[in-house]
């Protein structure tokens, strides 16, 4: 028989009954497990992300939603798709069990349960899960970099809207500002954010792990999570390539899509970030200075090994143009596919920014939103993006 005695793990116990929480936590802690608790479904959904438990003991009847609904939500997200879940219920009806098992629970036990039995089930499930996980390499998420041909061309606006559109497609997404100086996610979304990237950069690359990264992410109500860059000069930090690689690799392993907002200057750290990308979208404006910078940027990407299907061009018309742009000419100049053209939308962007929302969430039916959504569809449908 397998030996499960000293398996160490963090367990999230979800129950609205303080007595059950106390009893189960005590039994688990006595066996050396680390325990975190939640008293309703929403708190549980937050804690699975911020605490990264190894297993969840989930009550079926919670005040805000059913345990089965919590379980369904967990199964929809890349980072919790296979998180072991034991449902704990006072209901012994076969139909209740079936509902929970269909929602993705691994086990269903009825209360009252002897603590020894619950412990034995937890240990067996953890051991089985770890064995399966070892034999199945996890498919990492896609890493998409957005980089401007020069500053101020609309790159961050594209990155945040594409990231939000992917969330609308029920993908798990982290958008990260990987830059050593000022990042505008907070300004665009009206957020007062704790330090994100800056705190991660305090660590040696080997010390940056999934738990540390999760702690530094900001959760938006839409479901999008952000790693916010420096917010003032005092937070400007040099970044080592190895730190950047560690952060991107961890984010990529947590989600379906990592969206990187990258600076347009050349540096070792930026090169490292770009090398981590499955695809890079270069954002240009159809005006001569931005296009000249675009040509140089394409040259730079090529020298870093990013070209062909790994590189796409997004054209942003920040100002209305008297002369329409010729996309074929642009494609020839920049030698790469145009994956989208964003129309002028100063007003829609200003009003959505005032509300702290990406425009695709605030005015999903306006032309600029449709353009961001189209780009997102092309991005998610593209099979050609390989490392």
Ligand X SMILES: Nc1ncnc2c1ncn2[C@@H]1O[C@H](COP(=O)(O)OP(=O)(O)OP(=O)(O)O)[C@@H](O)[C@H]1O
Residue ranges binding ligand X (CB under 6 A): 148, 151-157, 184, 316-318, 342, 344-346, 349, 368
- The CA distances from residue 87 to 10, 28, 42, 192, 387, in Å, are 17, 16, 16, 37, 40
Which of 25, 78, 156, 369 touches Mg ion (CB under 5 A)?
156
Q: Which is nearer to ligand X, 252 or 340 (CB)?
A: 340
Q: Which is nearer to ligand X, 9 or 345 (CB)?
A: 345
Contact of residue 327 among ligand X, Mg ion, none (CB under 5-8 Å per partner type): none
Q: Which is nearer to ligand X, 41 or 148 (CB)?
A: 148
Stretch touching Mg ion by CB under 5 A, among 150-158, 165-173, 270-278, 293-301: 150-158
Q: Which is nearer to Mg ion, 84 or 196 (CB)?
A: 196
| Residue 180 touches Mg ion, criterion: CB under 5 A | no
Stretch touching Mg ion by CB under 5 A, among 105-113, 148-156, 202-210, 241-249: 148-156
Contact of residue 270 among ligand X, Mg ion, none (CB under 5-8 Å per partner type): none
Please, are residues 336 and 362 in contact by the beta-carbon 8 Å criterion? no
Stretch touching Mg ion by CB under 5 A, among 75-83, 87-95, 151-159, 368-376: 151-159
- Residue nearest to Mg ion according to CB distances in the complex: 156
Contact of residue 346 among Mg ion, ligand X, none (CB under 5-8 Å per partner type): ligand X
Q: Which is nearer to Mg ion, 155 or 369 (CB)?
A: 155
Q: Report the nearest approach of ligand X to the CB of residue 277 (Å).
A: 17
Which residues contribute to the site for Mg ion (CB under 5 A)?
155-156
């Amino acid at each position: 028989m397998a030996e499960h005695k000293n398996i160490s793990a963090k367990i999230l116990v979800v129950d609205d009954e303080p007595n059950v929480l106390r009893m189960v936590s005590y039994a688990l802690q006595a066996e050396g497990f680390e325990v975190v608790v939640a008293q309703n479904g929403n708190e549980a959904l937050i804690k699975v992300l911020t605490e990264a438990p190894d297993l969840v003991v989930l009550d079926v009847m919670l005040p805000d939603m059913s345990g089965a609904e919590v379980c369904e939500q967990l199964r929809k997200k890349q980072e919790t798709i296979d998180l072991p879940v034991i449902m704990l219920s006072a209901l012994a009806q076969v139909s209740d069990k079936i509902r929970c098992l269909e929602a993705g629970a691994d086990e269903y036990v009825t209360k009252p349960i002897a603590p020894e039995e619950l412990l034995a089930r937890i240990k067996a499930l953890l051991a089985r899960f770890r064995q399966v996980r070892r034999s199945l390499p996890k498919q990492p998420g896609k890493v998409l970099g957005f980089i401007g041909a020069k500053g101020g061309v609309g790159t961050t606006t594209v990155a945040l809207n594409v990231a939000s559109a992917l969330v609308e497609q029920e993908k798990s997404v982290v958008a990260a500002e990987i830059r050593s100086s000022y990042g505008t996610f907070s300004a665009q979304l009206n957020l007062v954010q704790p330090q994100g990237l800056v705190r991660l950069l305090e660590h040696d690359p080997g010390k940056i792990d999934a738990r540390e990264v999760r702690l530094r992410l900001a959760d938006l109500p839409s479901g999008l999570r952000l790693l916010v860059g420096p917010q003032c000069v005092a937070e400007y930090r040099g970044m080592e390539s190895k730190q950047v690689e560690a952060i991107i690799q961890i984010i990529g392993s947590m989600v379906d899509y990592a969206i990187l907002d990258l600076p347009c200057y050349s540096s070792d750290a930026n090169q490292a970030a770009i090398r981590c990308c499955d695809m890079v979208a270069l954002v240009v404006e159809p005006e001569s200075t931005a296009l000249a910078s675009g040509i140089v940027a394409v040259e730079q990407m090529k020298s870093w090994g990013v070209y062909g299907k790994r590189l796409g061009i997004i054209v942003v018309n920040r100002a209305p143009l008297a002369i329409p742009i010729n996309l074929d000419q642009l494609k020839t100049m920049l030698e790469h596919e145009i994956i989208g053209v964003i129309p002028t939308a100063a007003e829609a962007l200003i009003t959505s920014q005032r509300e702290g929302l990406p425009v695709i969430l605030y005015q999903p039916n306006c032309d600029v939103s449709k353009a961001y959504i189209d780009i997102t569809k092309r991005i998610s449908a593209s099979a050609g993006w390989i490392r």
